[in-house]
Amino acid sequence: MTVLRSALFLAIIVACGACQPDHTGEQHAATAAPAPAKAPTGGVDLAGIDHAVQPGDDFDGYANGAWRAKAEIPADRSSTGVFFDVFQKAEKRNAELIQDIAASHPAAGSDAARIADYYTAYMDQTGIEQRGLAPLQPTFDRIDAIASTADLARVLGETTRVDVDPLNATNYSTEHLFGLFVAQGLEDPTHNMAYLLQGGLGMPNRDYYLSRDPAMVGIRDKYKAYVAAMLRQAGIADSDAKAAAVYALEEKIAKAQASIVETEDVHKANNPWPVAGFAKKAPGLDWATYFKAAGLDGQTTIDAWQPDAIAKLSALTASQPLQAWKAWLAFHALNEHAAVLPKAFDDLSFGFYGTTLNGTPQQRDRWKRALSAVNNALGDAVGKLYVQKYFPASSRAQVQQMVSNLLAVFPERIDQLDWMSPDTKAKAKAKVAATKVGVGYPDTWRDYSALAIKPDDALGNLQRASLAETKHQLAKLGQPVDRGEWWMTPQTVNAVNLPLQNALNFPAAILEPPFFDPSADAAANYGSIGATIGHEISHSFDNTGAEFDAQGRLANWWTPSDAAHFEAAGAKLIAQYDAYEALPGLHLNGAQTLGENIADLAGLAVAHDAYIKSLGGKPAPVIDGLTGDQRFFLAFAQSWRSKTRDAALRAQVVSDGHAPGRFRAQTVRNIDAWYDAFAPKPGQALYLKPEDRVRIW
């Protein structure tokens, strides 16, 4: 994912009556959209350029410096930038759709009624206040009834939810000790299987508990106070002592967990354990009871993504007091549902997760959060309406053509690699040819007919929607693999590469200016959305994607010498990003961000080749005094423009697999054509000798 592979698989993502989604672009062939009638625009924000900055010293500062000097981060956000601008456009459209539906009294039992009732219930703050903690009482009763390790295993299983992405995170859930994911087998692309992953932390990842950085120590103190405040607000006796027990338990969980870098090593994740063998491989938890409660008792094999961590977490369920686990479960029940509990809980939650962790001073308006909640629960129902109203067929066709152009360039670049053997080249090209691309929206939509949504039960709606998603995913077990399955909704401003499916999703909401502008010159579109498309294609060949073959099978298709060269190039890129300093004393982790950095580099190179090819041998026009290549690289850098609060920037560096945007914009320093376009000189900060430029694909 970019984010584009993060908010967001592993980590862009109906009113016309009889009309149906067209399927003309399911694979690589597409018909180009008609040429615009008027002359194309340059597609570059000229006013955002800071001419006082030399491109060779800081290309992000040059491309975005004037914009950043004037940009103000909204009080309810931790950052601003291009992604936020496009998100706001999608959010406004979602508001129009959902609020109109909510006011229209749709027919009972329809998806429209589910959308309306979910939104209405979330917005009913008066009702939420009046009900207090009563909707959560059944959960508390279940926790209070725990009297044995078997009871604990049952409750842990009952609360397990499919809410994770195994190739793009380390802590897969907060309120769940284990995360759960369903996808095709790493070595068997024809069958889906279940993956079990580490979880259990209330803070983003283990570093927040273990780091000696003074800033992290301060965050820990505030988290401890937050846990105690939530328990106290709920009227739970001995709240301070129980909060201390919760934190002590989470610290042990953090010590048990694998790091981000370890988790991203897919070979360490290939651990298909027989279900009957979990008790021996990971003693402590009553696994038979857990699997039955989680709906997994019918499986013969489950993959342990982080085997050492799973074994250590299992041991904790036996070694730590039941009272500590019960306090932990009670806190996370409150924490998980804070947004649909009385305002005091919601405010406490925002105070920690919004202000402490991300530096955001103000909570988002309730209606904006309601939109997000509806999209999380009923994403396809909203998405179906979204694309009908806001995503024209012409845009889909134009983007499909760009995808086709970039996919055509990648094999050409592979053929030009002087370090890769013919056998590896053939397998790499076969993988490109087999890539399945989704543009705008999926070919099939989710069925929500079994999901009960009530206009006066915000907390129950959240719980039922979460359970429905889990049941939907579990139902895939034992079924044929659907390589066309989407992992993002059309109204998501992001994109994703799915290594296990060898597939790409480009949701409709990201296919908007400035990422994609139908009226803009090709240089800007290739520099922005073209580089994004190239980025996602290139994830199939980053340090994780390159481990999967054309069918999405974990398979070594490299010769030893090819693999050694690839690793050496990756090491150079790691060193390049290790040198970047996000905050005083806080450097990026080049190994942690390697996959995204490879995809940025390869994607930009492929997009530039595709742009040059699109010119058909003709010279690029000069627009606004800028050559085609200058517009291409400026569009790329401006697509990463961002301004972020220090707390949020720290959180990203510590937890995310993506480098901050301003460093992603500096990818240009490895591309020869950028040197021709902007003439950086030796001695300037970004200048690299030709032999020092990282070249991978």
The pLDDT of residue 11 is 32
Which stretches in the chain have pLDDT values below 70?
Answer: 1-39, 163-175
The pLDDT tens digits for 62-74 are 999 999 999 999 9
Spell out the alpha helix ranges (H) of 502-627: 522-525, 531-538, 560-578, 594-614
Q: What is the distance between the alpha carbons of residues 440 and 13, in angstroms, rounded to a whole number? A: 8
The pLDDT of residue 163 is 65
Scored b (16 or more CB within 10 A) or e, 150-185 reads ebbbbbbbbbbbbbbbbbbbbbbbbbbbbbbbbbbb
The pLDDT of residue 38 is 59
The pLDDT of residue 175 is 64
Using H for helix, E for strand and C for coil, what is the string for 447-516?
A: CCCCCCCCCCCHHHHHHHHHHHHHHHHHCCCCCECCCCCCCCCCCCCCCEEECCCCEEEEEHHHCCCCCC
The pLDDT tens digits for 606-659 are 999 999 999 999 999 999 999 999 999 999 999 999 999 999 999 999 989 999
Q: What is the pTM of this model?
A: 0.87
Q: What is the distance between the alpha carbons of residues 439 and 436, in angstroms, rounded to a whole number? A: 10
| Of residues 28, 162, 59, 85, the one with CA closest to residue 432 | 28
The pLDDT of residue 617 is 95
Judge if the upstream peptide bond of residue 514 is cis by omega within 30 degrees of 0: yes
- Domains for the chain: give ranges and CATH numbers: 2-12+60-86+390-437+488-692 (3.40.390.10), 134-363 (1.10.1380.10)
Helices 322-336 + 137-144 axis angle, to 10: 170
Distance from first CA to last CA of the chain, Å, rounded?
Answer: 18
Q: How many CA atoms lie within 13 A of 610 on its CB side?
A: 29
The pLDDT of residue 39 is 66
